Structures are given as structure tokens and as C-alpha cells.
Amino acid sequence: EEILGYEVDPQNVTKVGAAKLSAAVIYDMTFWGFTEEEVLAERKKLEDTAADIERVRTLPAEEQKKYFKTANEIFPELKLEDDRTEAQKEQERLESAKEILKNRLRTLEALKAYRKSYIGSIR
């Protein structure tokens, strides 16, 4: 999924939080030529939508279904049907997990090097 040309991992949205992500998107919008008034209008829409979602989430599960659609219901409407096999999806998840692991290991090595240089500088 993408927002303003950036690839977005749904798990990151969950970790960071929709509000923080929305704030980052709004901030980025100013870089792409949105005026302050347009940003405020979009922010108001987001806040109103978030309030509506919170209100609907207080309803019983059956009632909520009247307001929410699943991704499987929306994708065909948007012509975003995923025709990958389960094996292909699993392979992509595995590749993504490997890439995340490599990045975390690089970060760990960088932190170790920084720690080593920092400790060496205070002795």
C-alpha cells in the first residue's frame, strides 16, 4: 500500500499509530504544494473520520459491519484484486522478513560500533 508515493507496511501503521502516520502525511503534503488552509481542511476531514470510526467501534459487531468493509470487499471495486497464490504471498512475506532481519542486524552492528567508539572516547 502507498501513501503519497511511499510504500507503507500495515504492521508499521499498527506500531506507529494511525494518528502519527496521518500527521506525517499531512506534514509531507505541505512539501508537495498544499497550502496551510488545504492541510487544515484535510486534517479536519481526518479528525472527523477518526471520530466517526471511534463512534462506530462502540457499536455491536453486527452493527459495525454496516459501516466497515473488508479489504476483500474493497479490492475488486478498486481493481486491486490480488491474484497471487498463497505460496507466492508466503514467499513474499518470507523475503520481507529476511530484509527486516538484515536491516536490524545492520542497525545492531552500527550501534555496537558507536558504543565502542563512544566508550573509547571517554577513557
Q: Express each pLDDT in 6-18 by its tens digit.
A: 677 788 778 888 7
What DSSP string describes 74-87? HHHHTT------HH
Coil, strand or helix at 24: helix
From CA 62, how far away is CA 77, in angstroms rounded? Answer: 23
Highest mean pLDDT among 7-16, 79-88, 94-103, 107-116: 94-103
Q: Break the chain into its structural domains and give their ranges.
A: 1-83, 84-123
Q: Alpha carbon of 22 to those of 35, 78, 123: distances in Å?
A: 17, 22, 45
The predicted structure's pLDDT at residue 122: 72
AA identity, residue 45? K
pTM of the predicted model, to two decimals? 0.40
The 10s digit of each residue's pLDDT in 32-44 is: 677 878 878 888 9
